[in-house]
Structure 1
């Protein structure tokens, strides 16, 4: 029986309210390597968002490579690019670390047809079995934009385009398929309709989604993009989001973080086992009085702490008092006294950061914009957020029409 370790969404370089999380990343990445050494998988799959930004700094690049080299010493390791990753960097990394350099480390930068690296094959169980992996990095909606369109890209266009790409990879997986030997896997950085987002994940995911029914039917689908670990419901084979190994912010504070261990054999249903991760500082939210915080101070030791203090007059030097009560906590966000600027709080659940489209919508409402105009403006804003995750800006229909007109000028008859 072959074994695969699935991890995802490391977001190296991420900070929390400006506070570095380097120690947390070092701890949880070391834990992931220890899990891999314990379970001895035949293959390791990272389903995207290795980095938090496409603009890398050297310390994050080094942290990623050191960890991935350690993992690739245990088993071949495949990393697909997520929407936060730079395809250009991934292409360069694959050139210097790939099989041609003697390393079992594969970076998949963009969608590739099956015969051009979209389907990878690995020996498993001492050669008795093979794992065939279809790898699909994040596919930006721009890929399916048509210059003949006057309305721009629609979610339906995206769903149809993704359906075609996934079917193409499935066809490649099945070419030469040996049902007595082969285990088929699929990995993608994609939002699948019906998946549950963490409270802090922005709603832009839902603008362009794929149906669970369109996922290639394989022994296991290793998914990335959503930070909350979960199984995708409504399909007859296991498809899991491994989730982020650390809570990215307070909207994920209660998520149970994990990697996924997958045992699979030809012709049999895969056995999926999440392995919980426990490293990194806990994110904690405290609502209450200063006296209540003193009584509970021990449980907030060593956490990232967001506190709403009640029973104090506005203007009290609360940050200093809270810091004295929990000196080993890292205080994040504003520490509000009772009655302070309640109307400025945009999120419904205390301790959660507002999603950017929701924050922008609230701002437009405060400025007096009508709901109809505000919604169209928020939609355009959401499109820009989506675009910022990709190196190629989306063409605007008006600009494209102007370009076509200028390239095909006519001369008035004399």
Structure 2
């Protein structure tokens, strides 16, 4: 007796490559995901977070996401975990729309969203398998922000504990509730959006810190039949021997930090007293991302094998060459040139992008990182500063600082002061608030 779980994650609808939208690719890969799910015939579908790339997705992306989830819901019940890119109110609106304007509730809902992490509001649900022999019991945990950890602890001392210690308590509480009145034919599933120690991130070009300070311990994961994890874009099992938990990863190569990665969805067949059968089913719908680096002659040598792809070219040059974009375009007739960077021989600093620098500013994360590094900020202090800046760039909610106090918080991060130890209320000067999460 076994049950089937279909696991997808990190769609990041709305993510662009440079100035280019990828709507046709996204539509194709969503169709591919739905086709694989229909062929697999799961008893439960889990999306482990980051449906959208922005806390305020466009109407087109909301339509695209809701339609894909609706189609998956016709195959099997769907549980979606809120990721750090997702906004609670957006997901709650989608849940309302996808379940007949609130007509379907609780276990009758075809698509359910885990958006709250309060002890009394954790998403716990039961779904019988198609043959009626087993019941899949799922506990779902949305992303818990390291600096806005909103879980209500019974022990006040935990409010000042490390992130890993707090996560240990939260997961233990979810597991306790999940196993209450557990029967012999119940199979446990855990879904969460979080960073597990030892996981290998995609080396994205965004200056994002997945610091060990903000990692949950692999040993603290609940003992379940399958753990569906989100947040890391590289598909992989967690770093714990014999534990059946996987990051499904993103369905497309999201940026040039993910070149060469095989994307996919996870198919898990689990049952009481049996070894789980877990497979990564590859996805093929997206265009490849290719980074070409070297002299113009070296790039020309590899150009014939590039084909239809998104390309970033880093060209070693001795002098400024105004014809470089046209030369590269001729070498790569089927490719889309996203970035063209000239790297002067013997120059240590990054040169501004040739193709985009005339029309847009360089990435602010890169500029801040280079600015701080040039002035002697490095190591953990630099990681903290970049993490703080990433959080501050998101739209503020009721607990977020007003823009005028960002410099104060960044200075505190560089100095090594924990952000959750700062009295933010004294810094607020604006009442403009939204319910938005931060970016990964």
- The 3-state SS of whatever aligns with 1:344 is coil
- The 3-state SS of whatever aligns with 1:194 is coil
For 1:173, the equivalent position in structure 2 comes to: 178
1:49 aligns with 2:50: yes
Given candidates 254, 267, 270, the residue that maps to 2:273 is: 267
Q: Is the 8 A contact 1:361 1:375 kept in 2?
A: no
Structure 1 residue 96, shift from structure 2 partner: 2.7
- The 3-state SS of whatever aligns with 1:333 is strand
Given candidates 97, 100, 103, the residue that maps to 1:101 is: 103
1:186 aligns with 2:190: yes
**Per the alignment, do residues 205 and 77 of structure 1 end up closer, same or farther by CA in structure 2, a change over 3 Å counting?**
farther
For 2:141, the equivalent position in structure 1 comes to: 136
CA-to-partner distance for each residue in 1:37-57, whole Å, 9 max, x for gaps?
Answer: 111111110000000011111
Structure 1 residue 293, shift from structure 2 partner: 4.8
For 1:40, the equivalent position in structure 2 comes to: 41
Structure 1 residue 207, shift from structure 2 partner: 3.4
CA-to-partner distance for each residue in 1:266-292, whole Å, 9 max, x for gaps?
Answer: 222211111011111110122345455
Question: Which of structures 1 and 2 has the bigger CA Rg?
Answer: 1
Structure 1 residue 317, shift from structure 2 partner: 1.2
Q: Is the 8 A contact 1:360 1:378 kept in 2?
A: no
For 1:252, the equivalent position in structure 2 comes to: 258
Q: Is the 8 A contact 2:310 2:336 kept in 1?
A: yes
For 2:233, the equivalent position in structure 1 comes to: 227
Q: Is the 8 A contact 1:98 1:107 kept in 2?
A: no
- The 3-state SS of whatever aligns with 1:101 is coil
Structure 1 residue 125, shift from structure 2 partner: 3.2
Structure 1 residue 213, shift from structure 2 partner: 0.8
Higher mean displacement: 37-46 or 303-312: 303-312
- The 3-state SS of whatever aligns with 2:71 is helix
1:383 aligns with 2:391: no
> Partners of 1:341 and 1:22 in 2: how far apart?
38
Structure 1 residue 376, shift from structure 2 partner: 4.1
CA-to-partner distance for each residue in 1:58-80, whole Å, 9 max, x for gaps?
Answer: 01001101111111111111111
Structure 1 residue 204, shift from structure 2 partner: 3.8
Structure 1 residue 387, shift from structure 2 partner: 4.9
TM-score (norm 1): 0.84
- The 3-state SS of whatever aligns with 2:144 is coil
1:365 aligns with 2:373: yes
TM-score (norm 2): 0.79
For 1:399, the equivalent position in structure 2 comes to: 423
- The 3-state SS of whatever aligns with 2:423 is helix
Q: Is the 8 A contact 1:319 1:335 kept in 2?
A: no
For 2:123, the equivalent position in structure 1 comes to: 118
> Partners of 1:220 and 1:145 in 2: how far apart?
24
**Per the alignment, do residues 228 and 256 of structure 1 end up closer, same or farther by CA in structure 2, a change over 3 Å counting?**
same
> Partners of 2:380 and 2:138 in 1: how far apart?
41
For 1:10, the equivalent position in structure 2 comes to: 11
CA-to-partner distance for each residue in 1:361-384, whole Å, 9 max, x for gaps?
Answer: 432233xx3447x96465244224
> Partners of 2:115 and 2:59 in 1: how far apart?
19
Aligned length: 385
For 1:410, the equivalent position in structure 2 comes to: none
Structure 1 residue 175, shift from structure 2 partner: 1.1
**Per the alignment, do residues 375 and 196 of structure 1 end up closer, same or farther by CA in structure 2, a change over 3 Å counting?**
closer
> Partners of 1:105 and 1:398 in 2: how far apart?
38
- The 3-state SS of whatever aligns with 1:135 is strand
Structure 1 residue 121, shift from structure 2 partner: 0.6
Structure 1 residue 159, shift from structure 2 partner: 1.6
Given candidates 152, 159, 169, the residue that maps to 1:164 is: 169
CA-to-partner distance for each residue in 1:127-152, whole Å, 9 max, x for gaps?
Answer: 11100000001011212699xxxxxx
Structure 1 residue 174, shift from structure 2 partner: 0.7
**Per the alignment, do residues 402 and 10 of structure 1 end up closer, same or farther by CA in structure 2, a change over 3 Å counting?**
closer
**Per the alignment, do residues 309 and 362 of structure 1 end up closer, same or farther by CA in structure 2, a change over 3 Å counting?**
closer
Structure 1 residue 190, shift from structure 2 partner: 0.4
> Partners of 1:260 and 1:377 in 2: how far apart?
35
Structure 1 residue 360, shift from structure 2 partner: 3.2
**Per the alignment, do residues 288 and 401 of structure 1 end up closer, same or farther by CA in structure 2, a change over 3 Å counting?**
closer
> Partners of 1:329 and 1:211 in 2: how far apart?
42
> Partners of 2:124 and 2:60 in 1: how far apart?
31
Alignment root-mean-square deviation, CA: 3.0
**Per the alignment, do residues 356 and 8 of structure 1 end up closer, same or farther by CA in structure 2, a change over 3 Å counting?**
farther
> Partners of 1:72 and 1:401 in 2: how far apart?
42
For 1:302, the equivalent position in structure 2 comes to: 308
**Per the alignment, do residues 308 and 104 of structure 1 end up closer, same or farther by CA in structure 2, a change over 3 Å counting?**
same
> Partners of 2:86 and 2:373 in 1: how far apart?
34
> Partners of 1:356 and 1:289 in 2: how far apart?
28
Q: Is the 8 A contact 1:191 1:205 kept in 2?
A: no
